[in-house]
Amino acid sequence: MNNVIETLTNLLTSWGSRDIPLPDLSAYPWFPTALLIVTALFGLIYCFFGFKLMRFLSTLVGFLIGITVGQIVQQNAQFAPPLDLIVPIAAGVLFAILGFFLFRIGIFFVVLLGVFSIVMSLLTEYTKLDETVVAIVAIVIAVILSVLSVVYLRPMVIISTALSGGMTFANELFENVVHIRWDAQIETIVRLGVGLLLALIGMIYQFRTTRHMKED
């Protein structure tokens, strides 16, 4: 997760977005631990309950996208108070409603964000590719899996969420808790093995517990 944030920040800087105000999190010493716990738990939940949570996640992502769009509109239009708050919130609610009812569109963005994050993290961790190349490869893979998830809804959502969740949990575990210091290759193999094993268990569990669920 830290690799993804750092890479995105470096990319924004290299593309000229140098004036983005970022919060100073150094004042909160508990924040890294809290972020680790939340990310690891989210990985487990995503791995085992990804398909069941898709409508909720679709709504949540729609709200976040709407807030972002509304904020962009507000910054360009320079609305006076209270419109400067109403516009982003209204856009967030509108996009959340769209994400809830236009289920497959929401799934596209949920899978897109999840796959992009984990692929970018893996490539950043295990390859020496340029950050721009990493971002391009990650977005291409994410778009392909997102489209497949819309077309083949249940199987692709289960596979993508189990993989994303399993690898996210493994990355957090071996990056912050368990350290194999004697051999980097063994650490990589163990990390990938744990993530893939967890993903496989998650897929089996999701396929068994969602067989009677409707896709729309």
Over the chain (216 residues), the average pLDDT of each successive run of 10 is 47 45 60 82 92 88 87 83 86 89 84 86 82 90 91 89 90 79 76 93 95 72
DSSP class of residue 152 equals S
CB under 8 Å to 89, separation ≥6 — which residues? 67, 70
The pTM of the full predicted model, rounded to 2 decimals, is 0.71
Among 4, 128, 114, smallest CA distance to 60 is for 114
The pLDDT tens digits of the residues spanning 63-122 come to 988 888 888 888 888 888 888 888 889 999 998 998 888 878 888 888 888 888 888 888
DSSP class of residue 80 equals P
CB under 8 Å to 103, separation ≥6 — which residues? 54, 55, 58, 216
Using DSSP, state whether 62 is helix, strand or coil: helix
Cα 47 from Cα 113, distance rounded (Å):
15
